[in-house]
Structure 1
Amino acid sequence: MLHLALTGNIASGKSTVAALLAARGATIIDADVLAREAVAPGTAGLEAVLERFGTRVLAPDGSLDRAALRQRVFHDPVARDALNAIVHPAVRRLRDTAVASAAARGDRIVISDIPLLFEVGLEHAFDGVILVDAPESVRLARLVHDRGLGEPEARAMIDAQWPAERKRAGATWIVENDGPREALPRQVDALWAEIEARAAARSAK
């Protein structure tokens, strides 16, 4: 099995690339989905979050109010580190389980979608890294015009991640998503051909 990581800064188009890779046959393991599972109602993760941050981050239906929690930790590095210490180990355990299931099924190409791959130091844990990138000005425009965020909030979200220049040096493949939407599938086709070739070479060993 070839296990790759997929990453990209906010509004880079990473989720679109993940969907295109899934359509071509990749098994996608989404860290955002796992993060929600890690703090679902009834989990030890949610109990730990409530113990640290209080019931103000709990929604009326008993689930985690992710927006309230995000507001609580976004400008507080100590609180953000505390949250990460709760969520990241749980997410890693869930990812390990998902990868083991994929291996048991005989899946050839598994891609873990991890937004903060480089920030948490996981880039060397995979057989290769796919980085989706776009210039900061393009990503800012997408956040403001497509997602309806105010420019100060959008800039704060961009600044909270490592600059793409630091990540490009550690990437195996880079998908440049600064052009028209119709150009992206062609790039992913070329990327997929390289990934399949690498998977075939691994199988032949």
Structure 2
Amino acid sequence: MIAMTQIIGLTGGIATGKSTVSKMLAEAGLPIVDADKIAWQVEGPGQPTTAKIAAHFGPQVLLADGRLNRPWLGKKVFSDPQALAELTAITSLPIQYAMLKATVAAGKTRPSAVILDVPLLFESGWQNVCDQVMVVTAPADVVLQRLMARNHLSKRDAQARIASQLPLAKKVAMADVVIDNGENVDKTRTTVLKWLKTINY
């Protein structure tokens, strides 16, 4: 009898360290379907979705080489909920389709699990296709400092980005597995390795 591949949703709040956990899972041999990487492909130069974004938000959203001007777009949508909803309406279906194709391809290798690495997993409904959902957390003050340093943001802009997402506490309440990434990497790795044993990895 061949064991079924489990689909594990991986998410967290912005700057909680989801990418750190994703890297650990990849190092353990699990395939990662990364929503951010897929979004960059779908929204790349010359792509239909990129053209739709430019048609909606204006030519200033594009750089000279056809790439999205992500700093400009990010500042606009994270300070305007309506603009964020409009961008999501343009990009969500193409990204979801590309993710489903990538998930099916990963599942054909028959691993014990495929990881869906999705920052806005609950917001976009991906929990409905997952066998388990893992949420990565960190204290609010740590998250704020990480985000300001990582993205070179003011405190106000960083708080706006955090506020644009579903509150972390609500994500934790809906999680099957919670990974605390607020202290040190070694402790996080220990928690991840302990979880891996539960899926008969």
- 1:77 maps onto 2:81 in alignment: yes
State the match for 2:175 in structure 1.
171
Deviates more, 1:40-49 or 1:137-146: 137-146
State the match for 2:159 in structure 1.
155
- Cα deviation for residue 124 of structure 1 reads 2.1
**Structure 1 stretches of 5 or more lacking a match?**
198-205
Deviates more, 1:8-17 or 1:67-76: 67-76
In structure 1, C-alpha distance between the alignment counterparts of 2:104 and 2:126, rounded to whole Å: 18
Report the residue type matching 1:160 in the other structure: S
State the match for 1:67 in structure 2.
71
Residue-by-residue CA offset, 1:147-204 (whole Å, 9 max, x unaligned): 543211221121111111111111110001111222111111111111336xxxxxxx
Match runs of 1:133-148 below 5 Å: 133-145=137-149, 147-148=151-152
Aligned residue for 2:95, secondary structure, equals: helix
Runs of 4+ in 1 over 3 A off after TM superposition: 144-148
Residue-by-residue CA offset, 1:126-147 (whole Å, 9 max, x unaligned): 1110000011112112223455
**Contact map agreement 2:121 2:127 (CA 8 A) in 1:** yes
**Contact map agreement 1:123 1:170 (CA 8 A) in 2:** no
In structure 2, C-alpha distance between the alignment counterparts of 1:195 and 1:87, rounded to whole Å: 33
- Cα deviation for residue 14 of structure 1 reads 0.3
State the match for 2:190 in structure 1.
186
Deviates more, 1:64-73 or 1:170-179: 64-73
Please give the TM-score of this superposition, normalised by the length of structure 2: 0.92
Q: In the superposition, relative to structure 1, how do residues 88 and 71 fare at CA in structure 2: closer, same or farther (>3 Å)?
A: same
**Structure 2 stretches of 5 or more lacking a match?**
none
**Contact map agreement 2:11 2:118 (CA 8 A) in 1:** yes
Measured on the aligned residues, the alpha-carbon RMSD in Å equals: 1.5
Aligned residue for 1:161, secondary structure, equals: coil
Residue-by-residue CA offset, 1:10-39 (whole Å, 9 max, x unaligned): 111100000000001110011101111111
In structure 2, C-alpha distance between the alignment counterparts of 1:155 and 1:182, rounded to whole Å: 28
In structure 2, C-alpha distance between the alignment counterparts of 1:148 and 1:81, rounded to whole Å: 24
- 1:89 maps onto 2:88 in alignment: no
Report the residue type matching 1:80 in the other structure: L
Identity across aligned pairs (percent)? 35
**Contact map agreement 2:135 2:179 (CA 8 A) in 1:** yes
**Contact map agreement 2:33 2:115 (CA 8 A) in 1:** yes
